[in-house]
Amino acid sequence: MQHKIWAWGLLGGLAIILLMTMTSSAQYSKKTVVAHRGASAYAPEHTAAAYKLAIEMGADFVEQDLAVTKDGVLICLHDASLERTTNVEQLFPDRGINISLDGRNTKHWVANDFTIAEIKTLDAGSWFDKKFASEKILTFDDAVAIVKGKAGMFPELKTPEIYEGRNVDFEKLVADALDKHGLRGPKADPKTPIILQTFGQSSARQLAQIKIGVPVVLLLNDDEGFKTAAQLKAWKGIVQGFGPAKNIIWSNPNFVKWAHAEGMSVTPYTFRASDTAKAGFKDVSDEMAHYLYKFDVDALFTDNPDKFPRK
């Protein structure tokens, strides 16, 4: 009898381990919509207005691009610098520096040169529409307060290379933030699944090395180094999926089959109603449907989460 109990216990333990393994690698249980920077077609990106609207529109996940302030606070900001989406040039005219971003050496107001107190004084909405003048840059804590329990969160470790030599341990900051809010580990909130993403291959490897404990998606802006099944397979165990620019899949639909063969997800970006005409589709819902149901991608990033074609 003791042998039977031991055997059943062993089998039960193996089943639990298998279930945990399956759960950790299967980011999506259905075709999934990620609100790109929130509902960014309708409200200024990465603001409370954009995140709340994305949730109202039924987004499965809300994306956060993460940057780090001078005093080590995670904020939600797409660019490494502040001038495109705030009035930083007006409030802090002498704080711009010449730095190479996006391959061009020009003056930028780098977020990492400002404290969170300074950043919270900025208007993060007027650039989009004057009616959003009260919107502020959100901290990651702010974003969690808005999204947790209502949708998943899809933070990106944005421009990790900019912190080289700046005494910033980006990956540890993110890990600590997930722990602070109970977003990873056995007691993680099941209503708020977390997927991390990054273009930085070294950052993705670092996340794997520290056993971050949540799925990681490697973003790709081109297919250099990802043109064969073997090249995708080489990332198995390091990341759990890929986030390719949508033209990569358009040019090579086998990309999806190769990833799926290794149990890895595919989440292309970015689907916008404003781009539909040049993409050759009748509307953005039609374009998204083509990728979801013809190319069989698992999820996608869109500025228009209300247009997601669910079946």
Query: What are the catalytic residues?
Result: 36, 78
Q: What are phi and psi of 297, to 5 degrees?
A: -70, 160
Relative orientation angle of helices 170-180 and 140-147, to the nearest 10 degrees = 40
DSSP-derived letter for residue 136 is: -
Q: Give dist(CA 54, CA 42) in Å, integer.
A: 9
Cα separations (Å) of 191 from 138, 150, 242, 297, 311?
21, 7, 23, 23, 22
Cα separations (Å) of 192 from 59, 81, 104?
12, 29, 38
| Per-residue tokens: 107 | 């003056």
Q: Please name the residue that has the structure tokens 């107190």.
A: 117
| Per-residue tokens: 193 | 């699944």
CA dihedral for 125, 196, 245, 59, sign (positive or negative) = negative
CA dihedral for 177, 180, 182, 187, sign (positive or negative) = positive
Respond yes or no on whether the N-terminal peptide bond of residue 115 is cis (omega within 30° of 0): no
Q: Give dist(CA 137, CA 118) in Å, integer.
A: 11
Q: What are phi and psi of 302, to 5 degrees?
A: -145, 145
- What is the SS3 assignment for 309? coil
CA dihedral for 17, 196, 153, 171, sign (positive or negative) = positive
Instruction: Point out which residues pair with 300 in neighbouring strands.
Output: 33
